[in-house]
Amino acid sequence: MAEKKEYRGSIHQRQKELMLTWYDKLNQAAETGNPPTVSMMISGNCVELLEGFGAVPIYPEVNALQLAIRHQSLDPILAAEELGYAADNCAYVKADIGCILKGITPTEGKLPTPTLILCNFVGCNTYLKWFEHTAKLQKAPLYVIDVPFMRADEPTLADVDYVVKQLQETVKKLEQLTGRKFDYDRFQQAVECSSRTEELWSQIKHLARRRPSPFDAYFDAITLMGPLYVYRAKPEGVEFFEAALAELQSKCDAGKGVYEQEHFRVVMEGPPPYPYFRTFRDMFAKWQACAVASTYSTVGGLWEFGFRHDPAKPFESVAMHMIAQNVTNRNYLQRYEQIRRYVEDWNADGVIIHFVKSCRLFSAGQGDMRDYFTKQLGVPTLYIESDLEDPRYFAEAQTRNRIDAFFESLEHAKATASVRSA
Amino acid sequence: MRIAAGVDVGSTQAKAVIMSDNGGLKILGRALVDTGANVQRAAERAFDSCCQAADLRTGDVGMVVGTGYGRYKIAFGNTQMTEITCHAKGASFLCPGTRTVIDMGGQDSKAISVGASGEVLDFVMNDKCAAGTGRFLANSAEVMGISLDEVGPLSLQAKHPVKIATVCTVFVESDILSYLAQGKTAEDVLGGVHIAIAKRTLSLARRLNIEPEITMTGGVARNIGMVWALETVLGKKMQVSPDAQYMGAVGAALFGLEKLDQSFETGVWRGDHAVSGGH
Amino acid sequence: MNKLERTFDICSGLDFPTVSEWKQIHPGGKAIAYFPVYAPTELIHAAGMLPVGLSGAGDRLDIQHADARFGSFICSIVKTTLEMGLTGRLDPFDGFLFSTICDSARNLCFVMKRNFPNMYVDFLHLPHNPSSPAAAQFLVNEYRRVLAELERLAGRTVSDDALRNSIVLYNRNRALIRELYRLRTLRPQQIPTWELYQLVRMGNFLPVEEHSAQLEAALAGFQSRPAKPRDSIRIAVEGSFCEQPPLTLIRLIEDAGCYIVDDDFVIGQSWFDSDVPADGDPVQALASSYLDRSVYSSVRHDFRKPRWDGLVEKVRRTRADAVLFLIAKFCEPAYFDYVPYKEELERAGIPHLQLEFEEKSFTFDRLRTEIETFVESLIFD
């Protein structure tokens, strides 16, 4: 029978606790009005800024994916569609709007109306509409941080300046809304915390370069990612990732991988089908295929190539992260480059491109990405399709079929190569 | 003498082929049945009919390899492989020099880049919807009140094929009715339908490097209008074997023979592929 | 086919004949194509180059290569634009300019960059936070950045005077379009939309001076055209700002008993509601005009004033009886905005209908039935 292994060490439990504590805080905010809360998008988030106000982040994307994993996303999606949202609108948005309409939350607790809806516009145009709509629905104040898109290899000084100015405007706005003065020292400490969390996460990501990788850099990384958005700028985050690194390092030292035998190493591109997370994982587990890198796990920041927040330049480095160091604000060709680097430096056998109907930022043009990897680089690439949130768009048999055919082909290639070298 | 069977259970039809290797590879028998509601029974019926056709007892067959969507339900099978891998193998054997396979089945279509030994190098699939599949043709035929066997030959008689914009099987119906209401001939409408399907299929195939020899497989390969439309749009000739429908089963049988020969000992034959109720 | 249609047909030919003609008259001249919706054409013009608006290939091109790169659930215009590129039809151009309209269009920019590595392909980041005092400076810098690239491509520098001159020319062009639209709102019987549409859209292909001359002549012609008002429903069309509906569909809407009294077809052509200042720093003028003089649109975000208020105001100003949301299949921005738009229209008691189109359509029976039903429901209310 197929192996159904996944990483379930003690940090898995700790991750759950941290996320539940966070939802408790939000429930507290819903009931008492304190602490202040700020809604943000995960990609290119400026959670460090919130620390200067003692504010807690709300991440609608996390709410949406939690619902999908628990197979509860369809109802809110349908509610949103009744309101007029189209079949082709992003299902994350629909799920979130539906939850607001129906008062659904991912846990037993309540979610507060945010003190500020802070749209960190980092590439995803849907983010803008999403937050405009929820601001209208919840009658909450909205501010958009317009982050210039990475249209060249590096951001310009003007790009950074524009974002820094908007961050400072955000600070003023939050002072007005919370009645609290911005605590610059706490902000700076938060940036320092972030730099340490990032260093740890980066080292974890680099552990996947070993053979075997001690964790799956897609499925396990996604599970471990939550504390990266919520606790990146807090000491709890640093502790968590210290523990995570230690645990994974010891697995590495013992030569333990995710499976009995690591048969294939792949790079995963695109978000997972959250409503079928388990099933999807099993389709790869059957082949003992381990993800050694993924682009989706860098939505919350691209830390493995050296960038760190700099407490000496807190506003500037927060701006730099928002502009250049998250996958959504980077241009499509930079994503190709990122994947290529993973294939080469993390030693992967192939690339799996998962097209999701909801997300055009990730998916529009993945055919060209496939063309680049197969025709230009000769890297075996598999293209599969479903959705990240809507359970109606997953064809299990067809997806399994494509995955099986892909690994059959890789297996034959391996066998032929070993016969030749024998 | 080694004898192996390939059983290809698709959503509409189940096909079986028995082959032998006795100093040369040979097809001993073929069978085709409608799948119907019970996949397992369809597989059994196909296999039994095939044994009869080959004048063999089921016990004479040393290895049964299942393929197609129903491959996990073939309880009597020894192992299974995807039909992508099997089509590549079968096409390579029946049409030597095959480097690209274009498979148009009842419900899905695919294109496969094939290596010199019949191995899959790359593939693309349309398994999401009926556009470019036999279903599209069947629907169109029904809307026009024409039998499926006639659509191909009729399409070849088109003088001015109509322009079909949609690839949706459902929406093409209203397009067809619209054109017929405008007085277009059935030939012209069918000509347009075939060209639209060909364009759609080749659009899919172009994600790969389309290299000759190009072999067409699957049930739709029996439609001469479709073959012509594909060749016209592609600008190249294609190979079509009379066994086009059996390609998957042939490939599966070939893998079965290799397994018997132990010439292909890979992880692919791990126990988890053998079926005990499927996944 | 009358003269207008023939002209339009020629201009919108897939091989961009107007570009080749212009290049013959201006040897060594360069042409820059821009993807919808808005582009600062003055910058291109001032650099001595011809700006051409891309609008997809309509129903003239089979997508045979582009859908290998862009899969399902993506609008047609992205694919037909790439298809044109992959089949050599964009060869007359020396560069492409894209901007922040939506995720699909943005990804297209970089796919084009990969596939046409010797072309100048640029992405303009238009600001989505005009409430920030820093936005104006940012856009000035962004425009100067693009201008520097255009100068490099053109092999010459662009003086402020040249830019001011271009602004004057484009102001005139936009003013003419606004005037035509105003006249149509007042007396729609004199300006059928299927004619106005072609006239305005030709601005995508023609040098601005030539286009303005055509518009002037057309305006005079329309003003003196005798026409009796029909008993038609006045509708405002919303949602067709990027991928364009087939001309047949526009005619069909009018034939079904509607006067289109306002629309956002090729809205990039008349993006400003008043003249861009032609004195002072011209780049500043363009930048501040983008922030403060732009019409509302689903591809521009300005949370100082919601777009849905803009829609209701427009309906009132043009005395439209109803709104027709004419949305391109898979158009994400339009589909998102439909919800708050619809909400506000309902609150204001304004009837509306939503229809989906694709630029490539050959049969229109279903759409005709829906529009006719809608018109009937309004007449017999």
- pLDDT value of residue B267: 46
Contacts of C373 (CB under 8 A, 6+ apart): none
Give residue-wise pLDDT tens across range B22-72: 889 999 999 999 999 999 999 999 999 999 999 999 999 999 999 998 888
Chain C: residue whose CA lies nearest to A86: C335
Chain B residues touching residue C365 (CB < 8 angstroms)? 174, 178
- pLDDT value of residue A7: 54
The pLDDT of B243-272, averaged and rounded, is 77
Residue C358 C-alpha, separation from nearest chain B C-alpha, in angstroms: 9
- What single-letter DSSP state applies at residue A327? G
B275 pLDDT higher than 60: no
Rounded CA separation C73/C79 (Å): 11
Residues C123, A151: C-beta atoms closer than 8 Å: yes
Average pLDDT, chain C: 94
- pLDDT value of residue B193: 92
Chain B residues touching residue C68 (CB < 8 angstroms)? 203-204, 206-207
The pLDDT of A319-331, averaged and rounded, is 97
Q: Which of B203, B223, B233, B245 is nearest to B138 (CA)?
A: B223
The pLDDT of C228-252, averaged and rounded, is 94
Give residue-wise pLDDT tens across range A359-413: 999 999 999 999 999 999 999 999 999 999 999 999 999 999 999 999 999 999 9
- B207 lies within 8 A of chain C by CB: yes
Give residue-wise pLDDT tens across range B205-243: 999 999 999 999 998 999 999 999 999 999 999 999 999
- B279 lies within 8 A of chain C by CB: no
What Rg do the C-alpha atoms of chain B give, in angstroms?
19
Rounded CA separation A228/A248 (Å): 17
Residues 188-227 of B with CB under 8 A from A: 207-209
- pLDDT value of residue A6: 54
CA quadruple A99, C309, C298, C120: dihedral sign: negative
Chain C residues touching residue A165 (CB < 8 angstroms)? 132-134
Residues C361, B165: C-beta atoms closer than 8 Å: yes
Contact A367/A397 with Cβ under 8 angstroms?
Answer: no
Judged by average pLDDT, the poorest of A359-368, B136-145, C268-277, C305-314 is B136-145
- pLDDT value of residue B277: 28
Name the residue among C73, C115, C128 with its Cβ closest to that of A128: C128
- pLDDT value of residue A14: 93
The pLDDT of A153-158, averaged and rounded, is 95
Chain B: residue whose CA lies nearest to C359: B165
In terms of phi and psi (left: phi > 0; alpha: psi -120 to 50; beta: otherwise), the region of C239 is: left
What Rg do the C-alpha atoms of chain C give, in angstroms?
20
pLDDT grade for B276, boundaries at 50, 70 and 90: very low
Contact B86/A401 with Cβ under 8 angstroms?
Answer: no
- B182 lies within 8 A of chain C by CB: no
Give residue-wise pLDDT tens across range A67-82: 999 999 999 999 999 9
Residues B199, C65: C-beta atoms closer than 8 Å: no
Rounded CA separation B67/B7 (Å): 6
Give residue-wise pLDDT tens across range C79-128: 999 999 999 999 999 999 999 999 999 999 999 999 999 999 999 999 99
Judged by average pLDDT, the poorest of A141-145, A262-266, C2-6, C48-52 is C2-6
Chain C residues touching residue A366 (CB < 8 angstroms)? 71
Chain C residues touching residue B162 (CB < 8 angstroms)? 362
Residues B128, C59: C-beta atoms closer than 8 Å: no
The pLDDT of A256-269, averaged and rounded, is 96
More confident residue, A9 or B51: B51
- A139 lies within 8 A of chain C by CB: no
- A370 lies within 8 A of chain B by CB: yes
- pLDDT value of residue C296: 93
H or E element: which one contains A65? helix A60-69
Residues 17-46 of C with CB under 8 A from B: none
The pLDDT of A99-113, averaged and rounded, is 93
- A413 lies within 8 A of chain C by CB: no
Burial class (CB in 10 A: 0-12, 13-18, 19+), B115: middle
- B179 lies within 8 A of chain C by CB: yes
A5 pLDDT higher than 70: no
Contact A76/A93 with Cβ under 8 angstroms?
Answer: no
Contact B124/B205 with Cβ under 8 angstroms?
Answer: yes
Give residue-wise pLDDT tens across range C23-40: 999 999 999 999 999 999
Give residue-wise pLDDT tens across range C121-171: 999 999 999 999 999 999 999 999 999 999 999 999 999 999 999 999 999
Average pLDDT, chain A: 95
Q: Number of Cβ pairs closer than 8 Å across B and C?
A: 31
- ipTM, interface predicted TM-score of the complex: 0.95
Residues C110, A123: C-beta atoms closer than 8 Å: no
Average pLDDT, chain B: 89
- pLDDT value of residue B273: 40
Name the residue among A286, A400, A414 with its Cβ closest to that of B272: A286
Residues B203, C363: C-beta atoms closer than 8 Å: no
Tell how far CA A151 is from the center of its chain.
Answer: 22
Name the residue among A151, A166, A365 with its Cβ closest to that of C125: A151
B278 pLDDT higher than 50: no
Chain B residues touching residue C72 (CB < 8 angstroms)? 128
| Residues C318-341 as b or e (16 or more Cβ within 10 Å = b) | bebbbbbbbbbbbbbbbbbbbbbb
The pLDDT of A19-29, averaged and rounded, is 96
pLDDT grade for A93, boundaries at 50, 70 and 90: very high
Residues B204, C361: C-beta atoms closer than 8 Å: no
Residues A412, B127: C-beta atoms closer than 8 Å: no
- Helix/strand number for chain B, H first, E second: 8, 10
Residues C363, B179: C-beta atoms closer than 8 Å: yes
Q: What percent of chain C stands above pLDDT 90?
A: 87
Rounded CA separation A364/C188 (Å): 40
pLDDT grade for C381, boundaries at 50, 70 and 90: low
Residues 142-181 of B with CB under 8 A from A: none
Residues A412, B82: C-beta atoms closer than 8 Å: no
Q: Which of A131, A112, A110 is nearest to A43 (CA)?
A: A131
- B234 lies within 8 A of chain C by CB: no
Residues A371, B207: C-beta atoms closer than 8 Å: yes
Chain C: residue whose CA lies nearest to B125: C68
Residues B128, A395: C-beta atoms closer than 8 Å: yes
- Model confidence pTM above 0.90: yes
Rounded CA separation C84/C64 (Å): 10
C344 pLDDT higher than 80: yes
Of C363, C365, C368, which to mutate for an interface test with B (greatest number of B Cβ within 10 Å)?
A: C363
